[in-house]
Structure 1
């Protein structure tokens, strides 16, 4: 793949959490190669899976909540990479 073929994140996807969701907690940065962004999101989802299983098995709800937030961040990363692939 040449640099002309490389697609980049567009930096438009935000991650909202909290009451009223009026201000984004995070924004995906523009300019990340989409392939790298997708790989990172996949890695994050592996951590989400492990945290969820451990949280359930060890009765640690704080791990389940952390996994919830991390999965939302991974989704934002994937969504922004998808937008970049369309450009």
Structure 2
């Protein structure tokens, strides 16, 4: 496989599109999946942003007794994990 990436792509590789998040109603089905072919550098940056948003929502949700913010934090964490997992798989493939 050719390991040369497009010029505008970061140095870590590309997402492979196998990580997913958030359980669906049907057992074994997931609601969201990371799209293949995205820059791993950017995916990691976005995961960091999601984690920061999650941290803030969690803190405010607990302090202000807002369960909806705690749930939002849970969903954001799942999305961040999927991005990180997929970026990691893409970086291993890029080696």
Normalised by the length of structure 1, the TM-score is 0.89
1:77 maps to which of 72, 83, 91: 83
Aligned partners of 2:24 and 2:30 also within 8 Å: no
Aligned partners of 2:51 and 2:77 also within 8 Å: yes
2:63 corresponds to 1:57: yes
User: Once the 2 structures are TM-superposed, how far is the Cα of residue 24 of structure 1 from its aligned partner?
Assistant: 1.1
Number of equivalent positions: 86
Please tell me the root mean square deviation across aligned C-alpha atoms, in Å: 1.8
- Structure 1 regions of 5+ residues with no counterpart? none
Q: Cα gap change, 1:41/1:58 in structure 2, threshold over 3 Å: closer, same or farther?
A: same
- Structure 2 regions of 5+ residues with no counterpart? none
Normalised by the length of structure 2, the TM-score is 0.82
